[in-house]
Amino acid sequence: MSLRTLPLLFLNLGGEMLYILDQRLRAQNIPADKARKVLNDIISTMFNRKFMEELFKPQELYSKKALRTVYDRLAHASIMRLNQASMDKLYDLMTMAFKYQVLLCPRPKDVLLVTFNHLDAIKGFIQDSPAILQQVEETFQQLTDRYGGLSDGEFQLIRQTLLIFFQDLHIRVSIFLKDKVQNSNGRFVLPVSGPVPWGTEVPGLIRIFTDKGKEAKKVEFKHGGHYVTAPKEGSFELYGDRVLKLGTNMYSMNRPVETHMSGASKNLASRTQEIIAPNPLAKEELNFLARLMGGMEIKKPSGPEPGFRLNLFTTDEEEEEAAVLTHPLLGLALSLLQQDQQRNKELARIMGEFEVTEQPKQSASKGDDLLAMMDGF
Amino acid sequence: MFRRERPIPLRGSAAPLCNNLSVLQVPSRNLTHFGVVHGPSAQLLSAAPEGVPLAQRQLHAKEGAGVSPPLITQVHWCVLPFRVLLVLTSHRGIQMYESDGSVMVYWHALDSGDASPVQAVFARGIASSGRFICVGTWSGRVLVFDIPAKGPNIVLSEELAGHQTSVTDIATEPAQGQDCVADVVTADNSGLLCVWRSGPKFKLVTQIPGFGVPCPSVQLWHGTVAAGYGDGQVRLYEASTGTLHVQISAHARAICALDLAPEVGKLLSAAEDTFVHIWKLSRSPESGHTEVEHCHGECVPDTQVCGARFCDPSGSSFAVTGYDLAEILRFSSV
């Protein structure tokens, strides 16, 4: 709907990705200098000038699949590698976190404060790199220029566009379930208490006026919630107290990125559905990706810098289990994007015949068969 | 007191758009029709009194150039003197169908001519007044279509200029007597309300300024405009003069829908704060002022409501849709 949404979507999802990677790098005891290099490389790729220029052009939002490919590339902008299963997990966590933040924004324009919270944290990751810091501050300026003067109505349209993008995503996230901000059915909790948005009055009052405009009567009514006035407005300046906590880093050493597979089979079913339905717009999306990633400068690892693999799961065994269930399907999805429509239909038909079972061993052999089939094309 | 009735399942969840529920009551056939926008498709279904779904149909926005299938912005039944039409607005244009959605009788493509590249083009805001159907657009223009008693010979009769920002909603009421001054009100994203008198040539009666806060939903009852705003306020104005009569701090988040049960003067307000409120409008016999009384508040837990309508003329039952919810929730008074 709104053509101004992509920069906000990209930057906030990117911010969440960095929070998760940072936490997992520390949990896996990756040496500090390697971890710093990874974050620096990713951030510098994200905020590359040419890339930002493409991002800020007015355009519709593309599909989740297309956007996912951009993050795949971004996550591999450095010496770190992620298996498909870990990349899936990462993307699930990122999208559900930002969906939560958009849904709970008190005012539509607060999504800009959420974006600033992410950027503030990103600046914290690259304090020692003035060149990258400069890139981030330039992006801050661009955001202020483009969004600072938008009306409430335009932000409402942006909000609706983002929510449409996240419609029907109900992946359960352990940290949300624990904090009771998400129900066991995957729906977020919408509190009916706390401060009202800045600019809104606490509900409960009916005021009746005379023809001359004088207040004739005041009547209270029982609203049903327990609201209080907003204490103060968050700052939209380059530096300032954002007030809003949405978009700040919710992971820490005491609250790690939880990785157990609760509800994984449900997630798989919905993901399989997404993949089996052939995407007739793959060509348009490929053009978009080419434009966008053309601006991405991926540094090739040079010299004796050895790469390492990051695991979003607690153990290698857990990651393998997840990989075996999802990898063949996703490998297929990525190739679906690259092949033409006729082949899409043929692959989709074959996919339709592939049954997902709970037993890892059985899936592994079927997965191998599919991979062999793909090699044959 | 209201109790929850059996919900009606939907094929797809409701999109997070305002005014995302249209209801057509057909008392003669003991049926109620519901219309909900999912995204690139809209679902129509009819249900018996107990909420048992009987028939359903999905409509899509007419395709055109673009990256993805065009999104529908609103679906709404228009009751005209001799026929009922179903109108569907999207990012491409305006589609009009026979009331069961079976046959498209008219298509109007939106002209994106003077849109800047950063502006989204769409139609939104649908209401009928006499033999006219009014539809709002992204630019603020309101298109007025002249509808014949039957057949597809629909003509764009006028384009109303009054709004500078996207139209959000339109409300009408039957002309209140011969000397009726105002029977149509249009609202936009800046909160501006335009009050019109319908006819072969529409006349702008008055403008009620907004203060930058969008007005997503508006209703008209006995010469009183009821407007719901993005800051949770509901305000009642004298339609002919624009005088503010009542200001209600009704909700803690943006209002997404208003509905009226005109026979009894009941107003329904629903918002993103998960609440639905019912109000009784009346005119005080001594002062002649419009008065409002709060009747009932209903919380729909953890649901960002996006549409709400009364389901019967006496306002004793209502239906609600919510973002991400694949069912229509129903409530009736005990």
What is the model's pLDDT at position A79? 85
How far apart are the C-alpha atoms of B100 and B43, rounded to whole Å?
11
Does the CB of B180 have a partner CB in chain A at under 8 Å? no
Residue B176 pLDDT > 90: no
Tens-of-pLDDT digits for all 377 residues of chain A?
A: 899 999 999 999 999 999 999 999 988 899 999 899 999 999 999 999 988 998 999 988 878 888 888 898 888 888 888 988 899 999 999 999 999 999 999 999 999 999 999 999 999 999 889 999 999 999 999 999 999 999 999 999 999 999 999 999 999 998 899 999 999 999 999 999 999 999 999 999 999 998 888 888 899 999 999 999 999 999 998 889 998 999 999 887 566 666 444 444 445 444 544 444 444 446 666 666 666 666 665 555 555 556 788 888 777 777 777 766 554 455 455 555 555 444 555 544 544 443 333 333 333 444 444 334 334 33
Interface test mutation site (partner A, options B19, B41, B118, max chain A beta carbons within 10 A): B118
Interface of B with A in 199-228 (CB under 8 A): 212-214, 216
What is the model's pLDDT at position A7? 96
Beta pairing partners, B309: B319
Sheet containing strand B2-9, strands side by side: B2-9, B327-333, B317-322, B305-310
Candidates A286, A238, A290, A297; CA nearest to A49 is: A297
Residues of B in contact with A154 (CB under 8 A): 189
How far apart are the C-alpha atoms of A137 and A114, rounded to whole Å?
16
What is the model's pLDDT at position A345? 54
Looking at the partner chain, which of B212, B250, B302 has a beta carbon nearest the beta carbon of A187?
B302
CB spacing of A199 vs B231 below 8 angstroms: yes
Beta pairing partners, A217: A208
Residue of B nearest to A286 (CA): B67
B33 with B44: CB under 8 angstroms? Answer: yes
Q: What does the block give as tokens for A322?
A: 């997840």
CB spacing of B291 vs A208 below 8 angstroms: yes
Lowest mean pLDDT among A92-106, A295-309, B228-242, B310-324: A295-309
Cα–Cα distances in angstroms (integers) from residue A83 to residues A260, A301, A330, B113, B194, in the given order: 16, 18, 11, 48, 58
CB spacing of B68 vs A60 below 8 angstroms: yes
Burial of A254 (0-12, 13-18, 19+ CB in 10 A): exposed
Which DSSP helix (H) or strand (E) runs through A241? none
Candidates A51, A31, A15; CA nearest to A123 is: A15
Residues of A in contact with B243 (CB under 8 A): 209, 211, 213
Residue B237 pLDDT > 80: yes
Residue of B nearest to A213 (CA): B244
Cα–Cα distances in angstroms (integers) from residue A294 to residues A52, A280, A283, A331, B274, in the given order: 11, 23, 16, 22, 44
CA dihedral A15, A16, A18, A24 (to 10 degrees): 170
Residues of A in contact with B253 (CB under 8 A): 106, 197, 200
Does the CB of B41 have a partner CB in chain A at under 8 Å? no
Note the residue count of chain B: 334
Distance of CA B45 to the CA centre of its chain: 18
Cα–Cα distances in angstroms (integers) from residue B26 to residues A97, B44, B99, B260, in the given order: 44, 14, 11, 17
Does the CB of B145 have a partner CB in chain A at under 8 Å? no
CB spacing of A221 vs B294 below 8 angstroms: yes
Residue of B nearest to A59 (CA): B118
CB spacing of A156 vs B245 below 8 angstroms: no
What is the model's pLDDT at position A362? 37
Residue B280 pLDDT > 90: yes
Q: What does the block give as tokens for A182?
A: 């998400």
Residues of B in contact with A62 (CB under 8 A): 67-68
Residues of B in contact with A192 (CB under 8 A): 252, 273-275, 299
CB spacing of B68 vs A62 below 8 angstroms: yes
Residues of A in contact with B277 (CB under 8 A): 223
B150 with B85: CB under 8 angstroms? Answer: no
What ipTM does the predicted assembly reach? 0.95
How far apart are the C-alpha atoms of B239 and B227, rounded to whole Å?
11
CA dihedral B278, B280, B281, B283 (to 10 degrees): -170
How far apart are the C-alpha atoms of B115 and A367, rounded to whole Å?
50
Does the CB of B231 have a partner CB in chain A at under 8 Å? yes
Neighbours of A312 (CB within 10 A): 25
Tell me the pLDDT of chain B averaged across its residues. Answer: 93
Across residues B186-196, what is the average pLDDT?
A: 97
What is the model's pLDDT at position B270? 98
pTM, two decimal places: 0.88
Helices (H) and strands (E) in chain B, counts: 0, 28
Cα–Cα distances in angstroms (integers) from residue A316 to residues A28, A357, A359, A363, B139, in the given order: 12, 21, 18, 18, 56
Residue B187 pLDDT > 80: yes
What is the model's pLDDT at position B65? 64
Looking at the partner chain, which of B117, B232, B302 has a beta carbon nearest the beta carbon of A188?
B302
Residue A365 backbone dihedrals phi, psi, to 5 degrees: -70, -40
Handedness of CA A127, A128, A134, A136 (dihedral sign): negative
CB spacing of A225 vs B15 below 8 angstroms: no
Q: What does the block give as tokens for A168?
A: 């029907």
Beta pairing partners, A181: none
Looking at the partner chain, which of B190, B233, B251 has a beta carbon nearest the beta carbon of A153?
B190
Residue A141 backbone dihedrals phi, psi, to 5 degrees: -65, -40
SS3 B237: strand
What is the model's pLDDT at position B268? 98
Q: What does the block give as tokens for A329?
A: 């399907």
Residues of A in contact with B66 (CB under 8 A): 60
SS3 B25: strand
How far apart are the C-alpha atoms of A282 and B315, rounded to whole Å?
48
Looking at the partner chain, which of B119, B231, B299 has a beta carbon nearest the beta carbon of A200?
B231
Burial of B320 (0-12, 13-18, 19+ CB in 10 A): buried
How far apart are the C-alpha atoms of A116 and A8, rounded to whole Å?
10
CB spacing of A196 vs B301 below 8 angstroms: no
